[in-house]
Structure 1
């Protein structure tokens, strides 16, 4: 039973860890759609379709925003309120840096005006999917309970996690 009104600040704060899981599920689904879209373009395609490129860039922006939001929002709050999590947070920030490198390569591939084998883009997205699956599970296992237990008013979900879970 929820002790707070459904849209009260205390309820929104208590669910930050759960909302992180929702964001991860959405990001994973979007990445799966991107990878499936590469199949729709065909293995011999010289370039992904314009729609697929736009979707990919939108995804890259959302994932970057989420990780930046965590680094500067939730992770700082957790480091202050739960200092024993600092080594975990450092590992997660390192993961974020690796992900940023992959996203940079994806954006370079998409911005290159010369034809490029879709296989190169697929390789980057496949590597990203494998890394994110591991990263998201580790982050959820180690942080959800701590995020759900945050006290005070450390910020909105958007400020803490960089994104708000999509409705629906």
Structure 2
């Protein structure tokens, strides 16, 4: 017997897809932290690889937030007007996250290209601090979003943007 997945089945899982996307993004953020720690200790990725990983992560996170702002949040606001203050707060978080991503990418773009190059203490402090701030902001944002929106997303009966799904961010 084969399972049939009708559009309603997919819609019922949007809250679960949100959690899946957040789990994947958390894993990628942890890998980025690990890569930076290895670079700072002189045992890890070349700066060029770390920059590429950061760019890929930043792009995936931005696409996810853009899908939320452009499609998911308006659909939720229409279906659940009581969520508008929460959605406004989450959209504000998206702006803060994007600003942090831009600063982090700029710092990483300024790293020396050679694999043997070590970061000076001031560079290391700035990059590490920016990444720590991003991690704290993203974790707080994801936890709040999951707590407030998963049930409403699972109850939604309208299609959401394709890039909201995990497979569109991760290739899975």
TM normalised by structure 1 equals 0.85
Alpha carbons of 1:113 and 1:167: their partners in 2 closer, same or farther (altered >3 Å)?
Answer: closer
2:84 is the alignment partner of 1:79: no
The answer (yes or no) to whether the contact 2:19–2:146 under 8 Å persists in 1 is yes
Alignment root-mean-square deviation, CA: 2.4
2:27 is aligned to 29
2:48 is the alignment partner of 1:50: yes
Structure 1: any 5+ residue segments left out of the alignment? none
Q: State the 1:49 CA deviation.
A: 1.8
TM-superposition CA deviations, 1:117-142 (whole Å, max 9, x none): 23321111111111111110100010
1:120 is aligned to 126
Alpha carbons of 1:91 and 1:161: their partners in 2 closer, same or farther (altered >3 Å)?
Answer: farther
Please give the alpha-carbon distance, in whole angstroms, between the structure 2 residues aligned to 1:156 and 1:57.
22
Q: State the 1:75 CA deviation.
A: 0.2
Please give the alpha-carbon distance, in whole angstroms, between the structure 2 residues aligned to 1:161 and 1:102.
24
Indicate which of 152, 157, 160 corresponds to 1:155: 160
Alpha carbons of 1:91 and 1:65: their partners in 2 closer, same or farther (altered >3 Å)?
Answer: same
1:11 is aligned to 9
1:107 is aligned to 105
Alpha carbons of 1:11 and 1:131: their partners in 2 closer, same or farther (altered >3 Å)?
Answer: same
TM normalised by structure 2 equals 0.83
Q: State the 1:10 CA deviation.
A: 1.2
Q: How many residues end up aligned between the 2 structures?
A: 161
